[in-house]
Amino acid sequence: MADEDLNKLDAAMQFEVLAAKLKADHGASGDLLEYLAKMLESSYAGGTKVSRSGLFGKRPVSELTVRFDDWEFIIVREKHGTVNARAKKLVKGVGLKTNDISMEQCIDDVLKELVKTADKNAQTRNALDKFVSG
């Protein structure tokens, strides 16, 4: 098997492990948006922006934005509790088109972009390794 094929397999396995861990940990934590925000703040802080709302006690995540070279993902918790996700295509940092996507598709796309980013960035790679290993 060529090195390139092995790297593709490694990236696919990393994505599967990340997705499985996220789903398993979410089951334990209860709020997927909160968990995703916490995971991304620790593993991809430079590309993650978390907005919180509320007046008292623990302020829940109201919006999560994750920016990569070619994509920006925005997840918004509406006032009535539903969660909406959007993907914005970026070209040279400028948003060209925004599409509404499912939360599941958004998470899959974010994780795939994280794996690609980790292949280029040692700091992100280390954070993702820490996230996967617990």
Domain limits for position 72: 3-133
Say if residues 62 and 76 touch (Cβ distance below 8 Å).
Answer: yes
DSSP 55-78: SSSSPPEEEEEEE-SSEEEEEEE-
DSSP state of 126: H
Please tell me the predicted confidence (pLDDT) of residue 76: 93
* pLDDT of 34: 86
| pLDDT of amino acid 22 | 60
Whole-number pLDDT of residue 5: 40
Q: Output the pLDDT for position 24.
A: 59
pLDDT value, residue 133: 60
Q: How many domains does the chain have?
A: 1
- In the chain (134 residues long), the average pLDDT of successive 10-residue segments reads 43 58 52 84 88 78 94 91 92 92 89 80 68 59
Q: Which amino acid is at 73?
A: F
Q: What is the pLDDT of residue 101?
A: 96
Residue 68 to residues 34, 113, 119, 128, Cα–Cα distance (Å):
20, 7, 13, 15
